[in-house]
A and B are shown apart, each in its own frame.
Chain A
Amino acid sequence: MKDGKINVHYVTRVEGHGNIVVDLKDSAIKELRWEIPEAPRFFEVMVRGRSYADAPHITSRICGICSIGHTIASQGAALGDTRSTPLL
């Protein structure tokens, strides 16, 4: 394809929403864009003013697939542990 556009309007079989847009000009990529049209949910605000004990229960709802990682990160934060490695 010398010139043209590829528009993957939402990637399927994945948790989360993403679009891929490719714009070709003279067989070269003029533009390659990864769009995230997912609705922002504002978890940073959701936990404000609540007990630290509530936080893991709320942040585990960030993602249906990796809820355990968010739970552990939240518990680590409550313990004052700022290491990037998981508390395992």
Chain B
Amino acid sequence: MTKPRIAIFDFGCCEGCQLQIVNLEEELLDLVGLVDVVSWREAMTGHSDQYDIAFVEGSITREAEMERLKGIRQNAKVLVALGACAHIGGVNCLKNFFEMDEVLEYVYGKDAKHFDTIPARPLSAVVPVDYAVPGCPIDRKEFVEVTKALLLGKKPPIPNYPVCVECRSKGNVCVFDKGMTCLGPVTRAGCGAICPTYGNSCEGCRGLVDDPNLDSHKEVLQEHGLTVEQMLNSFRMFDGYMEVAK
């Protein structure tokens, strides 16, 4: 049996999700033994357009990137969004709340003409995406689980319940009770509630669960004297592309 061919690509991002894959270390060798990695610029030299599964990191932030992504979609049987930038747009979409001319001028001044940018968007805004490994950055163990499922022809096991479930099971004090705002009630779990566990609030980097109970979330905010504006601000950090943050 021939091994499934895997390619890893990146667009506008920090490449930290690919780094999570590199950081698998011992497990990486087992994983590489099961597949043929044909393209992965961050970790190897060489490239082929013949691949079965494409993992794509980053948001689309330039006109020309759309064509490149469409090409990848054409070559790949399965396309997986890798990390928040590819999955939901991530922090890149924070610039979308400004005019693009203003964005260019603010950062590059008179040299702005050398640069090109469009409002940032997730992969799914340009091409159909089959699956996502959520998070900023991705959880490397979850990446292994997703890859294993794909190699076995199964649906990747991504939870569809909110972060609160994992947070409660860890026995954490609720972030709202500490007077902070939190996106845990509506954000997809799978991270082990890592941010609330270490004293921060959930920032929603894994995107929303399917059918989030936003009305209930608003009630929780009101109970704790927090405003909808504070909630929108929180959503914009990672989920600015979504309607819920606009």
B15 touches A61 (CB 8 A): no
Q: Closest approach, in angstroms, between the C-beta of A8 and any C-beta of chain B? A: 10
Is residue B41 within 8 Å, beta carbon to beta carbon, of the partner chain? yes
A15–B45 Cα distance when bound, in Å, is: 13
A12 touches B91 (CB 8 A): no
Residue of A40, A47, A58 with most partner-chain B CB within 10 A: A40
Is residue B98 within 8 Å, beta carbon to beta carbon, of the partner chain? yes
A46 touches B17 (CB 8 A): no
Closest to B11 in A: A39
Residue of A14, A41, A45 with most partner-chain B CB within 10 A: A41
A65 touches B16 (CB 8 A): yes
A64 touches B19 (CB 8 A): yes
A64 touches B137 (CB 8 A): yes
Q: Closest approach, in angstroms, between the C-beta of B231 and any C-beta of chain A? A: 14
A15-B42 in contact given A58-B237, A61-B136 (Cβ < 8 Å): yes
Residues of A within 8 A of B187 (CB): none
A39-B62 in contact given A61-B14, A63-B14, A64-B17 (Cβ < 8 Å): yes
Residue of B11, B16, B17, B117 with most partner-chain A CB within 10 A: B16
B107 touches A13 (CB 8 A): no
A15-B65 in contact given A42-B103, A48-B98 (Cβ < 8 Å): no
Is residue A44 within 8 Å, beta carbon to beta carbon, of the partner chain? yes
A46-B91 in contact given A13-B43, A13-B44, A14-B42 (Cβ < 8 Å): yes
B115 touches A64 (CB 8 A): no
A61-B95 in contact given A10-B41, A13-B42, A14-B42 (Cβ < 8 Å): no
Residue of A48, A54, A61 with most partner-chain B CB within 10 A: A61
B106 touches A45 (CB 8 A): yes
Binary flags per residue of B85-120, CB closer than 8 Å to A gives 1, else 0: 000001110110010001100111000000101000
Binary flags per residue of B38-76, CB closer than 8 Å to A gives 1, else 0: 000111110000000000001001100100000000000
Binding site for A on B (CB under 8 A): 11-19, 41-45, 58, 61-62, 65, 90-92, 94-95, 98, 102-103, 106-108, 115, 117, 136-137, 200, 203, 233, 237
